[in-house]
Amino acid sequence: MKRFTPLLPLLVTGLACELSAAQLTTIESFQATAARTNRVLGVADFERTADALLESITDAIAKGNSALDQIGSQNLDHVTFESTVVALENLRAESSLVANRAALIAETSPDSLMRAAAESARKKLAEWNVGLDYREDVFKAIKAFASKQPKLSGEDARLLTATLRDFRRAGMELAPLEREQIKQLRSELSRLAAKFESNLLAAKAPVVFTKAQLDGVPEDFLSSPGIKMDNDRYQVMADVIWQFNVVEDCARSGATRQRLYVAHDSLAKATNVPLINQMLMLRNQIALKLGYKSWADYQAEVRMAKTATNAQAYIDKLVAGIQPEFEAELRELQKMKAADTGNPNAQINIWDWRYYTTQLNKQKFALDKEALRNFFSFQQTLDGMFSIFGRAFGLRFNEIEPPHKWADDLRLYVVSNADTRAPIGLLYLDLFPREGKTGRGGEFEIVNGRRLSDGKYQAPVAAVVLNVPPPNGDRPSLLSHADAEVLFHELGHALHCVLTRANYSRFAGTDVPVDFVEAPSQMLQNWIWDKRVLDTFAADYRDRTKKIPADIIKKMNDARFAIAGIFYRRQFAFAAADLALHGQHPPGEPYDCTAISNQIFERTFLPIDPETSFISSFLGLNGYDAGYYGYAWADAIAADMATIFEKAKDGYLDEQAGTKLRREIYEPGDSRDINLSIEKFLGRKQSIQPFLKKIGIEPQDTKKALTGRSQETR
């Protein structure tokens, strides 16, 4: 059994897999302790075959339907909170368990049949979920309870409000004919959304170059499997993001970068452009029928921004505020391009900024990112991270043997309170790449925390799924600094899930407004840039006395913000395009998504090639629609919250600040107003100043450009 003692010298273990299964304890020993604190600690019961998975779905739907029948058939004179609102919430929570398992299996199972079964299971359940909003009998029962004007408080009151709001947003307050129309539009929209995703998955964009055309691109890359063809031909896939990035970062030829860029930003153009136009039309129709001015307004209602105008005003002000920084950085890149091409008037196009930024980093900061990997061996980073989070949040992480392993290198941890040793929840780590596993990583909620009907608390279960480089022979897995940063970020989400104390699943963990959800994790990324934090664990795996030199950490931090203006203007351009597409639009009038988004992108960011249509492969359009601004929104909150640690006695390692984060942000989740939680954590009103300072917007610019965000939008 491995123990993580906060900030004692780390047990130096070196290689992954140092612990053999025989040494690990099992979950049973923790379950008894959990039971004593009224907590149900159980691993998610993962299905092992495709048949079992389909059976689970059928079962979940049947159980759900019978629970719905029970709610709908009760005597309306005797309805109670439990028999209506809570019963509906419980059945949603139950059915989401199998959906959550299916989501994880679809992305991680090594068995293609399992993955296919999981995909179809998810679709079935999604369809069933839409139907759930249109159960007239259930709606009547809920309304009957609401009409008694019950005296509810706190989380219960929030649950009733949210439930009524769901029905209203589904169109249940409208006349039957209109309601039916909305239901149809929604199911058509979800069909198109699925098509959008599958078109994107199917879109491949090979571009063939000669070696001369790829001058500047590392030899390692050119000799990678699949790249080198024959007779001086090299195939680069514009749709494979790491290949795209290497060539855009390194290729000296502007023509090469442009060709690859055009291929990348034309992905799924033919198939997805007409589809997006249709989706926008449907979204607009739904929003207008429901009485909103736009889809962006419909979406914003349940987010911190509350209205599209607030989101738009926020982005507009940031775009203006960062103008001087953006221009100054562009001038620097422009000078480099002018010297490079001999053309004093050379302009920085959208396919140039990555290349000249790479050059800038090399010249100005002389950073060797590859050499940094030696300081981030996998096990050391993991131990260090658990130790830091253990200390900050008062937790212990004990590795146990997973009862079911879908991959050999899967790990499972019990997260407990450090002082009482009482288990809180479980954490799976599936961190190495393998055939069939998703390329995109992230945090998955498998079991949401909630109060069960017998009064016990369901312990949450989360998983972090990533693809870090595997060990190579005698060499352990060595993470890049960016890999380590992602690990901190995703573990932040997992802790948000595990530490929840919400009574209802829909308010638990990361089920908070989407323009807030990234904030705590974006804040945790600061840890990995801080010397004091890094010194607790980052050391050369070949000689652990060697820490990262102070001047290197400084250079890393300087480079981090060297193109903040360009980085953020690009983010704001995506946000502005997304808001414009989902903004007010005359009903029935056709959309031209390419024209709308290209124009905004060019105006806000850099000159583009008119042949392209980046929007056709813009993943944010589906699921995060009218919500891309949320990244920038959450950034401001993250920077504001970070100040509490920055001012604390022990900086990012401060236990008091960590405990506050746990108590005021992670534990309540969405069970109370998120603004209140943030203010309780800060001990003051929110401020956008720390974010502006971080991205280099001076206070005097701020006064002009950014007055009053807090009054307007918070």
Q: Which residues bind Zn ion (CB under 5 A)?
A: 518, 521
| Count of C-beta atoms within a 10 Å radius of residue 28 | 10
Rounded to a whole number of angstroms, the minimum distance from the CB of residue 157 to Zn ion is: 29
Which CA distances in Å does 607 have to 350, 366, 461? Answer: 6, 29, 46
Q: Which CB, 236 or 641, lies closer to Zn ion? A: 641
- Residue indicated by tokens 């589809």: 275
Sequence letter at residue 177: L
The DSSP code for 137 is: H
Rounded to a whole number of angstroms, the minimum distance from the CB of residue 518 to Zn ion is: 5
Q: Which CB, 95 or 521, lies closer to Zn ion? A: 521
Residue 515: which of 578, 460, 461, 596 has the closest Cα? 578
CA torsion, ordered 145, 148, 151, 155, to nearest 10 deg? 20
- Return d(Cα 35, Cα 397) in angstroms, integer: 18
Q: Which CB, 133 or 518, lies closer to Zn ion? A: 518
Rounded to a whole number of angstroms, the minimum distance from the CB of residue 638 to Zn ion is: 11
- Return d(Cα 277, Cα 270) in angstroms, integer: 12
| Angle of CA points 77, 81, 84, to nearest 5° | 75
Q: Which CB, 521 or 598, lies closer to Zn ion? A: 521
Sequence letter at residue 382: L
Residues linked to residue 426 through DSSP beta bridges, in sequence order: 414, 461
**Residue 571 in tokens:** 């983010």
Rounded to a whole number of angstroms, the minimum distance from the CB of residue 530 to Zn ion is: 20
Rounded to a whole number of angstroms, the minimum distance from the CB of residue 495 to Zn ion is: 12
- Residues whose CB is less than 8 angstroms from the CB of residue 280 and which lie 6 or more positions away in sequence, other chains included: 295, 581, 582, 585, 591, 593
φ, ψ at 302 (rounded to 5°): -100, 15
- Return d(Cα 462, Cα 363) in angstroms, integer: 42
Q: Which CB, 430 or 518, lies closer to Zn ion? A: 518
Rounded to a whole number of angstroms, the minimum distance from the CB of residue 624 to Zn ion is: 12
Q: Is 48 exposed, middle or buried (0-12, 13-18, 19+ CB in 10 A)?
A: middle
- Return d(Cα 674, Cα 250) in angstroms, integer: 43
Rounded to a whole number of angstroms, the minimum distance from the CB of residue 486 to Zn ion is: 9
CA torsion, ordered 680, 683, 685, 690, to nearest 10 deg? -110
- Collapsing DSSP to helix, strand or coil, 268 comes out as coil
Q: Which CB, 634 or 644, lies closer to Zn ion? A: 634
Sign of the CA dihedral running 561, 564, 565, 567: positive
Q: Which CB, 389 or 541, lies closer to Zn ion? A: 389
DSSP 108-125: H-S-HHHHHHHHHHHHHH
Rounded to a whole number of angstroms, the minimum distance from the CB of residue 444 to Zn ion is: 12
Residue 702: which of 323, 321, 324, 326 has the closest Cα? 321
Which CA distances in Å does 703 have to 207, 320, 337, 576, 633? Answer: 48, 12, 34, 22, 19
- Residue indicated by tokens 């930003």: 265
**Residue 556 in tokens:** 């890393």
The DSSP code for 430 is: E
Q: Which CB, 515 or 518, lies closer to Zn ion? A: 518
Residue 690: which of 648, 651, 643 has the closest Cα? 643
Rounded to a whole number of angstroms, the minimum distance from the CB of residue 517 to Zn ion is: 7
Rounded to a whole number of angstroms, the minimum distance from the CB of residue 393 to Zn ion is: 18
Q: Which CB, 64 or 630, lies closer to Zn ion? A: 630
Q: Which CB, 423 or 520, lies closer to Zn ion? A: 520
**Residue 34 in tokens:** 């959990």
- Residue indicated by tokens 């033919």: 270
Rounded to a whole number of angstroms, the minimum distance from the CB of residue 2 to Zn ion is: 27
Q: Which CB, 476 or 520, lies closer to Zn ion? A: 520
Rounded to a whole number of angstroms, the minimum distance from the CB of residue 443 to Zn ion is: 7
Which CA distances in Å does 246 have to 41, 204, 260, 478, 555? Answer: 45, 17, 11, 19, 22
Q: Which CB, 524 or 657, lies closer to Zn ion? A: 524
Rounded to a whole number of angstroms, the minimum distance from the CB of residue 403 to Zn ion is: 28
- Residues whose CB is less than 8 angstroms from the CB of residue 342 and which lie 6 or more positions away in sequence, other chains included: none
- Collapsing DSSP to helix, strand or coil, 228 comes out as strand
- Return d(Cα 173, Cα 184) in angstroms, integer: 16
Rounded to a whole number of angstroms, the minimum distance from the CB of residue 627 to Zn ion is: 13
Q: Which CB, 213 or 521, lies closer to Zn ion? A: 521
Rounded to a whole number of angstroms, the minimum distance from the CB of residue 379 to Zn ion is: 24
**Residue 427 near residue 464, CB atoms below 8 Å:** yes
Rounded to a whole number of angstroms, the minimum distance from the CB of residue 492 to Zn ion is: 8
Rounded to a whole number of angstroms, the minimum distance from the CB of residue 634 to Zn ion is: 9
- Collapsing DSSP to helix, strand or coil, 205 comes out as coil
Q: Which CB, 448 or 521, lies closer to Zn ion? A: 521
- Return d(Cα 500, Cα 656) in angstroms, integer: 18
Q: Which CB, 44 or 523, lies closer to Zn ion? A: 523
Q: Which CB, 262 or 498, lies closer to Zn ion? A: 498
Q: Which CB, 485 or 667, lies closer to Zn ion? A: 485
- Return d(Cα 643, Cα 692) in angstroms, integer: 13
Length of the chain: 714
